[in-house]
Amino acid sequence: MRIGIVNDLMLAVEALRRVVCSVPGYTLAWIARDGQEAVQKCAADRPDIILMDLIMPVMNGVEATRHIMIESPCAILIVTATVQGNISLVFEAMGHGALDVVRTPVLGREGMIEGAADLLAKIEIIGKLTGAVGLTKSRSVSAAEAPPASLGAISLIVIGSSTGGPAALSAILSRLPGDLDAAIVITQHVDQYFAPELATWLNTRTSLQVKVAEEGSRPIPGTVCLASTNDHLIMTPSRALRYSREPLDCYYRPSVDVFFKSVAEHWPAAGTAVLLTGMGKDGGEGMMALKKAGWYTIAQDEKSSVVFGMPKAAIEMGAASQIVPLTEIAAVLKARLHMYDTSEPGGTASL
């Protein structure tokens, strides 16, 4: 795998170079000292992955990511040490197509590099994604009948997202009212270190309460719960949220498939599932399980997706009840909750 490094700090570049060169099969493609240089070098020599810093002179990592994904797209991993006060930049970069984010490794005493393992784990996952390697060995989903709906059951909306997800989530949540008569649970591919920051960032963009999903918590109407660890979020038979390391062979962490399947198995009433922009196929099998359990399933359309991989996978296997542009998804969700006249365009039957 050929890797490009974009960073203006010599110590950071050296730490990244040592990490990259420590793995057989990984080679350093080039080094850029600012975003503009990165755009130029990527156009001339496109690597397999770029390790992109955020705060740089001339052009920052957000703008560099935007230009690269338009002009010469390739996999971009945001690698930053500057988070405090700049978390919005992380999610802006992911909105333009950066796949994930991780903290910059630090050169320690005696040549040790703190944070190397985290970076290498992210690079490995992205390598598998871009190499179209099968990532999961998920159990087959039985075509079981939908569980019976119980009177007074909470309406539940589940959302899965990855590349471009933060901006897409913001677009949906900002269009929903604070008194929404449904609970929302989100599985977004993001490192656990940045999940709380993503919840905080989304909180500033919606009237709903957004918080990280805590072990043992339960979905509450008007509240958005966000998966917040590198383990998988699952729904238990008691309808509580829990984190699980299993399945270990699933490289998407947290996995949309794992969460959706657990909801299909344990939530007592059919709700609405949404699969948003993202690279890979995570979420397709889980959405099919929900559809077979009687859920209404929505896939984001290709035109509004930063990367169409995840919604496309669901659509191709027949798991999507409806394909919807990003700007209209919130309206469909409200229509299904009878929050306005369902005879309007896009209106459908209730949950």
Residues with catalytic annotation? 162, 189, 282
Beta strand pairing call for 106-107 and 113-114? antiparallel
Distance of CA 317 to the CA centre of its chain: 21
Name which of 26, 22, 54 is nearest 38 in CA terms.
54
Q: How far apart are CA 256 and CA 345, in angstroms?
A: 29
Q: How far apart are CA 282 and CA 272, in angstroms?
A: 17
Q: Does a cis peptide bond (omega within 30 degrees of 0) precede residue 166?
A: no
* Direct distance between the N- and C-terminal alpha carbons of the chain, in angstroms, rounded to an integer: 47
Name which of 28, 329, 335 is nearest 171 in CA terms.
329
- In 10 A of CB 340, how many CB atoms? 11
Q: How far apart are CA 147 and CA 271, in angstroms?
A: 11
Q: Is 196 exposed, middle or buried (0-12, 13-18, 19+ CB in 10 A)?
A: middle
Distance of CA 84 to the CA centre of its chain: 21
What 3-state class would DSSP assign to 282?
coil
Q: How far apart are CA 207 and CA 212, in angstroms?
A: 16
Say which residues have a Cβ less than 8 Å from residue 221's Cβ, sequence separation at least 6.
Answer: 154, 155, 180, 181, 182, 183
Q: How many residues does the chain have?
A: 351
Beta strand pairing call for 106-107 and 2-6? unpaired
